Chains A and B, each alone.
Chain A
Amino acid sequence: AQKVTQAQTEISVVEKEDVTLDCVYETRDTTYYLFWYKQPPSGELVFLIRRNSFDEQNEISGRYSWNFQKSTSSFNFTITASQVVDSAVYFCALSEGWETDSWGKLQFGSGTQVVVTP
C-alpha cells in the first residue's frame, strides 16, 4: 500500500505566484519523520525540510513554509513568490521509527513536477 501520496502530478505557475504541494502519509508508528526533497533535472535529491512526529509547529524558512497536521496525516509544502529556479520535481518522504537501523528506509511519494514560467 502506498504510504505517501502526492496527488498532484504537475503544477504550472507564473513566476511570483505561490505554489502549495500536497502530501498525505499513512503510518501506524507514533514516531516518524517527514521530509521534502527537490529533484532538479540533474537528478540529485536536494534536502529541503524535515519534521518529526512530535513537532507540529509550522515554520517559515525564507520562501519555504510547511503545514504539518497529524489529525489529517498531511504535510504540505509551500513556495512563496515562485522563481524559475524552483522548477523541479518535489518529493515528500516518510521515515518510520527513529533508531539508527530504521532511518535509512525513506518511503517516497510519486512526486509533483513544478513548472515556473517567467
Chain B
Amino acid sequence: DAGVTQSPTHLIKTRGQQVTLRCSPKSGHDTVSWYQQALGQGPQFIFQYYEEEERQRGNFPDRFSGHQFPNYSSELNVNALLLGDSALYLCASAVGGLDSGNTIYFGEGSWLTVV
C-alpha cells in the first residue's frame, strides 16, 4: 500500500519564477493538505482540498494556489517566488473525519530552494 507520494523531491528555482509541486494521497484518502516547513521550524498549514475545492486556508498570500483532481491527487503552485519561499513542502492526506479514528499521513516532502 503506497503512502503519500510527492514530486519532485528536490528542485532549485530562481527568484520570480513559478513552481508546481505534486502530491498523490495514500490509497483510499480523499482529502489533501499542504504545509510549508522552513528550516528549523515546525510545518505551517497552507491549505486543504476536499472534493476538488479549497476548504481551509492558512495565512499565506495568493501567490500560493492549489488544485485537486478527480483522482484526489493535488498540486501546489507558487508564483513569483521569493527567497523566503525556500522550504520543505509537505503534503498530508486522510479520509473522513478524525472522529472516525482516522489519522493524517505525510509524504517525504519536496525541498524547494529559491536562489
Contacts and interface: CB of A to CB of B under 8 A. Distances in A.
A100 B33 contact: no
Contacts of B50: 100-101, 104
A103 B97 contact: yes
Interface in A82-110: 91, 93, 95, 98-110
Chain A, interface residues (CB within 8 Å), range: 20 to 34
Given A110-B41, A110-B42, A103 B108 contact: no
A45 B98 contact: no
B104 A102 contact: no
Listed residue (A47, A95, A104, A107) with the most chain B CB atoms within 10 angstroms of its CB: A104
Interface residues of B, number: 30
Interface of B: 31, 33, 35, 41-45, 48, 50, 55-56, 58, 88, 90, 92, 94, 96-99, 102-109, 111
Given A33-B98, A103-B31, A45 B90 contact: yes
A100 B111 CA distance: 28
Contact of B33 (A46, A105, A110): A105
B90 A109 contact: no
Nearest to A100: B97
Interface of A: 4, 33, 35, 37, 42-47, 50, 52, 91, 93, 95, 98-111
Contacts of B42: 4, 91, 93, 108-111
Contacts of B33: 104-106
Contact of B109 (A43, A98, A105): A43
